[in-house]
């Protein structure tokens, strides 16, 4: 035990976080394969249990078997717990349990939280975790009330309550997994305004990031007093939601409610109120862009993040205006452009590699469907044109790794096993022609 603790203390934070997610996925897979988790007469292959556990922990929503039709209420509860752990993060859950037990939080544990939440300072880590847990419980409990009012019209009270709790957890954590059965997602409730708007509210709340939520509450919703990060997240999120809804409305014959819901859900949530396979190529391409951008840093969602696309857009603007990148009367840090470019490039590289492998493994499926699946897996969006269940074993394994990469982060995975100090000596610079 002492030897294990020494090894643990010498591991870099990013490696521990990645291993924590992997361990939770494996544990979830074993629980989903237990007889008490599987409905009588149903056979679940190990790869499908692994796929479901990965999708839940990585809050993706892509599934090869329907959760309601395959798993018992116990198995569905396991999925809900995995979604909650995946959305909040391994480190936040661990520190929350330690705080509940009255244990003192070490510097090492605070460093893990800082790494997981992608913040620059160790100050206030305990307060942040407490705020995250309180906000999560508050939003999820608040979401249960209107959702229960909808499901209670179609199901017995106890069943409706279980559906409401699961749906609230899945919505706030941007998981996109439902237990309505039949693989229909929310299509039976396409025109239900209350369920659509309640789900959108939970998705947006979970997707803007815990740091932004804490800042909004602290500033009492006064935009002028927000930090630069919060201002960027809020404005970029609002722009993407509006632009996505408008584009989807004009590319396909959708109602305004359906277009808005898809615009929200495409930002890594994964719920659908219609068969996406029936959308036009322009509509699918719009959703592809929204999925790839994804949610915001420190949130329950994935993608390259809203702040990344904002910084890249500012850099393009500044090339023509000859000004330094910035916004809201604040200049952006010098390393922001390099980090945003790296994250964007790595994201495109992962999507291209995944799509290429899927094209080789599934040559009979349409390219747009395979590309859609690859982007959905990387961005942990979970939307699909309906091909996930029919993929071959190697293709499922490719998507499992892509979902894991999207949740942990391609940048993190590449630097997991390399701990090199920055060199003191540098080569002489020489200009090259670009473009």
Residue 98: pLDDT band by 50, 70, 90 thresholds?
low
Closest CA to 63 of 40, 82, 41: 82
Determine which of 144-158, 238-252, 324-338, 395-409 has the lowest per-residue pLDDT on average.
324-338
Alpha-carbon distance of 246 to 240, in angstroms, equals: 10
State the DSSP code for 187: G
Sole residue written with tokens 């990965």: 54
Average pLDDT of the chain is 86
State the DSSP code for 63: -
Alpha-carbon distance of 238 to 240, in angstroms, equals: 6
State the DSSP code for 325: S
Alpha-carbon distance of 213 to 6, in angstroms, equals: 36
Cβ pair 381, 302 in contact under 8 A? yes
User: Does the predicted TM-score (pTM) go above 0.85?
Assistant: yes
The answer for residues whose C-beta is within 8 angstroms of residue 154's C-beta and 6 or more apart is: 160
Closest CA to 229 of 131, 297, 313, 314: 297
How confident is the model over 221-261, as pLDDT tens digits? 888 898 888 999 999 999 999 999 999 999 999 999 999 99
Residue 396: pLDDT band by 50, 70, 90 thresholds?
very high
Report whether pLDDT(203) > 70.
Answer: yes
Report, in angstroms and rounded to the nearest whole number, the Rg of the chain calculated over CA atoms: 21
Q: Give the pLDDT score at 323.
A: 75
Closest CA to 83 of 52, 49, 118: 52
Q: Give the pLDDT score at 127.
A: 77
């Amino acid at each position: 035990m002492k030897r294990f603790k020494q090894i643990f203390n010498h591991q870099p934070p990013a490696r521990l976080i990645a291993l924590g997610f992997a361990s939770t996925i494996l544990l979830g897979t074993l629980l989903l394969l237990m007889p008490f988790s599987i409905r009588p007469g149903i056979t679940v292959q190990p790869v499908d249990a692994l796929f479901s556990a990965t999708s839940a922990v990585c809050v993706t929503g892509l599934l090869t078997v329907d959760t309601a039709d395959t798993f018992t209420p116990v198995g569905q509860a396991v999925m809900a717990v995995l979604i909650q752990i995946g959305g909040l993060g391994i480190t936040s859950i661990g520190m929350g349990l330690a705080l509940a037990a009255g244990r003192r939080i070490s510097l090492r544990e605070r460093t893990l939280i800082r790494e997981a939440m992608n913040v620059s300072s160790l100050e206030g880590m305990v307060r942040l975790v407490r705020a995250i847990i309180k906000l999560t419980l508050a939003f999820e409990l608040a979401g249960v009330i209107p959702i229960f009012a909808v499901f209670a019209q179609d199901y017995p009270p106890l069943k409706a309550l279980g559906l409401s709790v699961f749906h609230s957890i899945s919505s706030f954590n941007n998981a996109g997994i439902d237990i309505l059965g039949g693989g229909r997602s929310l299509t039976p409730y396409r025109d239900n305004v209350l369920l659509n708007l309640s789900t959108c509210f939970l998705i947006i709340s979970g997707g803007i990031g815990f740091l932004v939520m804490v800042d909004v509450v602290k500033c009492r919703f006064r935009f002028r007093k927000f930090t630069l990060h919060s201002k960027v997240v809020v404005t970029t999120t609002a722009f993407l939601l509006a632009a996505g809804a408008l584009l989807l409305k004009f590319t396909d014959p959708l109602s305004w409610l359906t277009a808005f819901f898809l615009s929200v859900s495409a930002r890594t949530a994964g719920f659908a109120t219609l068969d996406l396979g029936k959308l036009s190529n322009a509509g699918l391409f719009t959703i592809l862009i929204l999925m790839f951008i994804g949610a915001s840093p420190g949130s329950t969602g994935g993608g390259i993040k809203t702040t990344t696309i904002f910084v890249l857009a500012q850099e393009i603007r500044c090339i023509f205006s000859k000004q330094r990148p910035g916004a809201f009367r604040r200049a952006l840090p010098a390393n922001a452009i390099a980090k945003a470019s790296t994250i964007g490039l790595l994201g495109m590289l992962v999507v291209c590699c995944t799509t290429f492998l899927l094209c080789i493994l599934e040559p009979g499926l349409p390219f747009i469907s395979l590309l859609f699946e690859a982007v959905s897996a990387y961005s942990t969006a979970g939307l699909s044109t309906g091909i996930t269940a029919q993929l071959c074993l190697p293709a499922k394994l490719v998507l499992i790794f892509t979902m894991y990469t999207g949740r942990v982060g391609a940048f993190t995975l590449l630097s997991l096993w390399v701990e090199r100090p920055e060199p003191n000596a540098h080569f002489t610079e020489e200009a090259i022609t670009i473009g």
